[in-house]
């Protein structure tokens, strides 16, 4: 079973907003099909699938951590023979987003609103 922290990471790396507390009323993100599919799949992973997802989340965490580290060299235009890559942050973000999309693909859900377009029909309850 995934830990609460792993569930949070899975949701955010897939581009979905925080889960929050209990649903109130008849509206909100929980009434969209993709969110329900994500939550269902996260709650019903086989042991081997959890292992794969944990590895993928670890990759995403590592890639995400490298983005702020790249900011250490943003102020340096040139230092001797070394010159910073002005596109490093954008390249790192593209790589991170690529892995995030792989997590979505593995879980069988479309990327959430934080990762791209979300074409989810509303579910009438």
Q: Which of 56, 85, 51, 54 is nearest to 71 (CA)?
A: 85
Provide the pLDDT for residue 118: 43
Residue 74: inside a domain = no
Q: What is the model's pTM?
A: 0.73
Provide the pLDDT for residue 28: 55
Provide the pLDDT for residue 98: 93
pLDDT tens-digit readout, 49-82:
999 999 999 999 999 998 888 776 655 566 666 6
**Count of C-beta atoms within a 10 Å radius of residue 98:** 10
- Average pLDDT for runs of 10 along the chain of length 125: 95 85 57 83 96 96 88 63 76 91 94 70 36
CA angle 59, 60, 66 (to 5 degrees): 95
Provide the pLDDT for residue 74: 59
What sign for the dihedral angle of Cα 72, 74, 75, 79? Answer: positive
Domains in the chain, number: 1
Provide the pLDDT for residue 120: 44
Residue 38: inside a domain = yes
Provide the pLDDT for residue 105: 94
Task: Give dist(CA 111, CA 100) in Å, integer.
Answer: 8
Residue 43: inside a domain = yes
Residue 17: inside a domain = yes
State the residue range of the domain holding 24: 4-69+84-107
């Amino acid at each position: 079973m995934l830990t609460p922290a792993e569930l949070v990471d899975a949701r955010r790396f897939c581009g979905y907003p925080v889960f929050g507390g209990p649903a109130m009323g008849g509206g909100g993100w929980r009434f969209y099909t993709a969110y329900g599919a994500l939550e269902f799949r996260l709650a019903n992973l086989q042991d081997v699938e959890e292992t794969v997802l944990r590895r993928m989340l670890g990759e995403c965490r590592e890639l995400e951590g490298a983005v702020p580290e790249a900011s250490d060299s943003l102020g340096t235009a040139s230092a001797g023979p070394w010159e910073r890559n002005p596109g490093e942050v954008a390249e790192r973000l593209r790589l991170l987003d690529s892995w995030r999309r792989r997590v979505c693909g593995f879980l069988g859900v479309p990327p959430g609103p934080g990762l791209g377009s979300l074409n989810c029909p509303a579910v009438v309850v």
